[in-house]
A and B are shown apart, each in its own frame.
Chain A
Amino acid sequence: MFDEPVRRRNMASLTPLIDVVFLLLIFFMLTTSFLKTQSLSVVTPAPSADELPTDARVVEIWLMGDGTLRVDGTPVEREGLVEAVKAGIGARKDMTVTILAESGSKTQAFVSAIEAARQAGAHDVGTARVEKITP
C-alpha cells in the first residue's frame, strides 16, 4: 500500500496549512451556536392578583398547577388558546388579558399564554402569580 517512497520535500509546505485549517474548523465548530433566539417584551407583574382589574373588560387565562389551561374558568387545550382568548375578547379594542399562574405551572405555559394573549389582540396583558386559583 505505502511501498512507494514518499517525497516529503514538497508536502512539507502544505501540512502546516492543513493543521491550521483543521484547528480553525474545530474552533468554529465548537464556538458557534445555531440556536435562533427571539425576544418577548413583558411588563413586570402586578404586586398581587388582587390589584389586577376583574371587571367585564378582562379575560383571564389560568395556568393551573397540573399544566392545564383555562380561559375564564373553561378548560382549553394549548392549541385552542388563541381562539378561546379571541372569543373572550370579541370585537372590543380595550380588553385586558390577565394571566394568573398557579404554583406548579411552567414557564413554557406562561410564555405561550402571553403570546396567545398578544396574538388574540389584547390591549394590555397583566400577569400575577397565585398560590391556588379558586374558581
Chain B
Amino acid sequence: MTIELNFTINEKKITLKTEPNRRLLDILRQELNLTGTKEGCAIGECGACTVVMNGKAVNSCLVLAPQINGAEILTVEGLEKDQRLHFLQENFLKHGAVQCGFCTPGMLMSAYALLSKNPNPTEAEVKEAIAGNLCRCTGYKQIIDAILETEGDIK
C-alpha cells in the first residue's frame, strides 16, 4: 500500500508517496536527506530524533508517516537562516553545549519548542522542556545555560 502525504517542512511544501510503515524519522533522513535529525533509541526514550511538529516537540521515531499529513514540521536544518546560525545555536557554541553532538539537534528542537511559547523560561522550565533528551557528555549544565541565555522572541 502506498499513501500520498502533503506536509510542510522547514517552510517548504512537500508532496511525496510512501509506505505507511515508515516513520517521520525515515522520511526526514532517507527521503528528504535531512540527516540532522538523529536516530538514537528508536523507542522514544532518548530524544535524539526530536523535531517540532505543529509547534510541539515530538519524537520523530514514534510518529508514523501517515500522521504527518497536513502537519508543519521544523527540523534542526530549519533553524539556520541565510547561512547564519540561529542565535539559539550560537549560544550552544558559546556555552560549550556541544560535545559529541549527537543529542544536539534534538536538544535544540526541544529548546526551540519551549522558547516559542515561553520566551523567558525559568531554569526549572528549561529542565522540564529537555527532560526527554538524553546527553551523555555535557552533564546538561552548559545546555541549560545556553537555553537560558536565549530569551526573548526567537522566531
A and B found bound together: no
